[in-house]
């Protein structure tokens, strides 16, 4: 997803799915439209499920989960794991890092980015695929 906001509609959703090698089923189209029409963002399966219900898209939470994982595997989303139980899906798949606002349960991009230097040596025969950084925040205590 480019950072400039363009009109994202049913047709864009279809092009996106087909381009990623996914069959554009009705449910996938609806979820893609919900996900990508609002620019760069971080959503949980629960949030996307609520949004779907709000616009009368009938889809189970399990289907939302499966679809988010399919989109991730197809390279349309990037998974941001914050805690064991909580996974967020990022519509921006480029390299960037995150703040996690513990009190709000929200993931946001670190503005201006962050430089990661001094990467560790990796075991022989292995290579680094990606570096994830989540900086956890809370309101100052007293
Ligand atoms: Zn992000």
Sheet holding 78-83, edge to edge: 42-43, 86-90, 78-83
Which two tokens mark 58?
């009938």
pTM equals 0.84
Is 47 contained in some domain?
yes
In a domain, 125, yes or no: no
Separation of CA 124 and ligand 1 centre (Å): 31
123 in any annotated domain: no
Q: 67 in a domain, yes or no?
A: yes
What distance in Å separates the CA atoms of residue 53 and residue 50, rounded to the nearest whole number?
Answer: 5
58 inside domain? yes
Could you tell me if residue 32 is inside a domain? yes
For the stretch 15-61, pLDDT in tens is: 999 999 999 999 999 999 999 998 889 999 999 999 999 999 999 99
Tens-digit pLDDT profile for residues 90-112: 999 988 999 999 999 899 999 98
Interval between CA 57 and ligand 1 midpoint (Å): 26
Q: Report yes or no on 117 lying in a domain.
A: no
Tell me the per-residue pLDDT of 73-86, one tens digit each, with 9 for 90 and over. 999 999 998 876 78
The span from the CA of 137 to the CA of 142, in Å, is: 15
Within a domain: 20:
yes
- Alpha-carbon separation of residue 12 from 17, 18, 132 (angstroms): 9, 10, 29
- 50 backbone φψ class: left, alpha, beta (φ>0; ψ -120 to 50): alpha
Q: What CATH number does residue 28 fall under? A: 1.10.10.10
How many whole angstroms from 17 Cα to the centroid of ligand 1?
A: 21
Number of independent structural domains in the chain: 1
């Amino acid at each position: 997803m480019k950072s400039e906001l363009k009109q994202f509609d049913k047709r864009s959703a279809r092009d996106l799915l087909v381009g990623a090698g996914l069959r554009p089923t009705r449910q996938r189209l609806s979820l893609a439209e919900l996900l990508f029409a609002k620019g760069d963002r971080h959503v949980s399966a629960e949030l996307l499920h609520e949004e779907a219900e709000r616009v009368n898209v009938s889809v189970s939470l399990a289907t939302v989960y499966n679809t988010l994982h399919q989109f991730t595997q197809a390279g349309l989303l990037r998974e941001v794991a914050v805690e064991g139980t909580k996974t967020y899906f990022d519509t921006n798949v480029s390299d960037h890092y995150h703040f996690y606002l513990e009190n709000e349960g929200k993931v946001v991009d670190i503005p201006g980015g962050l430089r990661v230097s001094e990467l560790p040596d990796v075991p022989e025969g292995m290579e680094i695929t990606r570096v994830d950084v989540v900086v956890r925040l809370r309101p100052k205590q007293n």
